[in-house]
Every structure is written in structure tokens, then in C-alpha cells.
A = this chain, B = another copy of it.
Amino acid sequence: MRSDAKKNYEHLFETARIVIAEQGANASLRDIARRAEVGIGTLYRHFPTREALLEAILRESFDHVSTRAAELELSGSAGQALVAWLRDMVALTYDHRGVLASMAAAIDDEQSALHESCVRLRGSGARLLALAQAEGTARADIDGTDLLALVSALAWLNDQAPFAARVERLFGLITDAVMRPTSTVTTP
């Protein structure tokens, strides 16, 4: 990359980070270009889709959650590890309003720049879930996609003003539901 292009890229990236933090993941791309003082075409050259821009901005946070998840896999209690992962995921979306809708859409869309990251994230949760299920602390009738769905739903609630204050409590309710082993028929 030419040095002027690199400068543009980085300035665009920092500006986008600020604007998206302010206005959420659906902020105007035109506005980002304007505030970065580059032509709109330059934004499209560096980030051909909105997802590509989001991916760049979220990459750090994604990596953070993945790394933590790998650590958590080695921790003593699989149940506690799973709850910690759920907390990490909710925190991720606290920092980035409105990204969960894009992330949800990316799960089944292999063309999306967010696809790989989201699948990887789901995988990290799925592994912790499987461990907790094997341990008997998580209910057996859900999978990694269900888990992602639940976290996404909480994140969505967090974006709705009248519900935001209740996410904490509802997080507890949902965690309870996930962490309660389904009653199994015990043969004597």
C-alpha cells in the first residue's frame, strides 16, 4: 500500500471508529468520509462494504473474546467459564451499538466480511457450552447457534432504551435457564 493510501486508510479507520461509537453501526458512510475529509470513493476503495468496515473495527474485540474463550476452556469449572463467555459477549455489544443485527445476518451469509469472525465466535461459545453440558451444568437441548441467538437477543434489548436498564436482570434469567441441566430420567 502506498504511503498516502495507508494514511487515508488509518485516518478513515479512526474516524469510523469514533462515528460508529457515537451513532451505532448504521452511521452514515457519507458522514464518516466527510469527517475523515476524504472523498466517498476513498472510503469505498478501502472498505468495499459496510461489513468490511465493521469487521475492521470489531476485529480487536473479536480477538479479545476468542482469546479469553480459549483461556476459559482450560479453567476449572466449565459452567463458570460459559457464564463468563456470555458476559464477554454482552460486553462486546455494549461497546458497539447495533452490530448484532449485522453479526446475526453474517452467520448464514458466506459473502459477508463478518462471516468468518461470527462463525469463529460461535465456535468458541459452542465449545464452552459442550464442556458445560458434559459437566452437567448446562442444559443439553441447545447448541452454539442457540447460545449466539440468546446473546444477540440480549444485545438487541440493550439497544432499546426502555429495556436497556433491565438487561442485567434478564441476563441473569437467561443464564439461569441455560445453566439448569434438563431433568433426565434416572434409571435406578
A residues 134-188 near B (Cβ < 8 Å) are: 139, 141-142, 145-146, 148-150, 152-154, 156-157, 160-163, 166, 169-170, 173-174, 176-178, 180
Q: Chain A contact residues (Cβ within 8 angstroms of B): what range?
A: 20 to 34
Q: Does A14 sit at the interface, judged by CB under 8 A? A: no
Given that A141-B169, A156-B156 are known contacts, is A149 also in contact with B174, CB under 8 Å in the complex?
A: no
CB distance B173 to A177 under 8 Å? yes
Q: In the complex, which residues of chain B have a beta carbon less than 8 angstroms from the beta carbon of A153?
A: 153-154, 156-157, 170
Inter-subunit contact B146/A152 (CB<8 Å): no
Q: Which of chain A's residues 32-79 have a Cβ closer than 8 Å to chain B?
A: none
Chain B residues with Cβ under 8 A from A163's Cβ? Answer: 104, 145, 148-149, 152
Separation of A107 and B160 alpha carbons in the complex (Å): 10
B177 touching A162, Cβ below 8 Å: no
A146 cross-chain contacts in B, Cβ below 8 A: 166, 169-170, 173
The reply on A21 being an interface residue by CB < 8 A is no
Please determine whether A166 and B145 come into contact, CB atoms closer than 8 angstroms: yes
Q: Does A105 contact B (CB under 8 A)?
A: yes
20 pairs, CB–CB < 8 Å, chain A vs chain B = A104-B163, A105-B160, A105-B162, A107-B162, A108-B161, A139-B173, A141-B169, A145-B162, A145-B166, A146-B166, A146-B170, A149-B160, A149-B170, A152-B163, A173-B174, A173-B178, A174-B174, A174-B177, A176-B177, A177-B177
- Contacts A153-B153, A153-B154 known; 12 new A-B pairs at CB < 8 A: A101-B160, A104-B161, A104-B163, A108-B161, A142-B173, A145-B166, A146-B166, A146-B170, A146-B173, A174-B174, A176-B177, A177-B177
